[in-house]
Amino acid sequence: MPAPALPSLAHIDLSSGIIDPAAEVVERRLSDMPAWFQDQPAAQALLSENPVLYRVYAMAQPDTAGWRLATSVIESGRIGAEYYMTRGHAHVREDAPEVYLTLRGRGMLVMQSRTDETVVQVMQPGSINYIPGGWAHRTVNTGDEPLVFFAVWSIDAGHDYEAYAERGFAKLILAGEDGPRVVDNPSYVKAKRA
């Protein structure tokens, strides 16, 4: 038997979302995901500026099993009418769920089942969003400050980006005159399994 891992302690700055100590910081800029946005002329025009869309801070942990703990910080901004958002993924392990706790800002969580059913939930400080296994998920910052949330998922869940890079999600979150609107994605290609 390997020696049991030691307990660990970290701190989240509730305003910036920074975890200390963090094992890993992932930074996503527009150039990492230009094709993900609906308004391609707007995306291309912003590429020279190449804004940071979001960062993920994973907590340093001694264990190789169990849970991954991380904060995500999505900046406030838009590409055309579409808000800054994460790439979005499903878990390779279809039974692996995920939990989000929002710490700051306002956003929407878009979840999509393997048969293209969509559920959109609001994220605001104190919201706990439960993403069941088998549901792809993307987070969108619909507010005018960073959206900061804490996420917990199984270390061996695995990220499947490919399916959603190609066909996107069935619903888009666009800025309207009265705030965010959930609209059908006109270029969405239905799941083969649907």
User: What's the token pair of residue 158?
Assistant: 């695995």
The stretch among 10-18, 81-89, 112-120, 185-193 that binds ligand M6P (CB under 6 A) is 81-89
Q: Is there a cis peptide before residue 21, judged by omega within 30 degrees of 0? A: yes
- C-beta closer to Zn ion: residue 87 or 181: 87
- C-beta closer to ligand M6P: residue 111 or 174: 111
Establish if 72 lies at the interface with ligand M6P (CB under 6 A).
yes
Q: Are 104 and 15 in contact (CB under 8 A)?
A: yes
Establish if 29 lies at the interface with ligand M6P (CB under 6 A).
no
Place of tokens 């507010």: 143
Establish if 151 lies at the interface with ligand M6P (CB under 6 A).
yes
Establish if 86 lies at the interface with ligand M6P (CB under 6 A).
yes
The stretch among 18-26, 46-54, 92-100, 101-109 that binds Zn ion (CB under 5 A) is 92-100
Q: Are 125 and 15 in contact (CB under 8 A)?
A: no
The stretch among 17-25, 85-93, 103-111, 174-182 that binds ligand M6P (CB under 6 A) is 85-93
Which of ligand M6P, Zn ion, none sits in contact with 114, Cβ below 5 to 8 A by type? Answer: none
Going along the chain, which residue ranges are E strands? 11-12, 19-20, 22-29, 52-59, 67-74, 78-79, 82-83, 90-91, 98-104, 107-112, 118-123, 128-131, 136-141, 147-154, 159-160, 171-176, 179-184
The CB-of-178 to ligand M6P minimum distance in angstroms stands at: 28
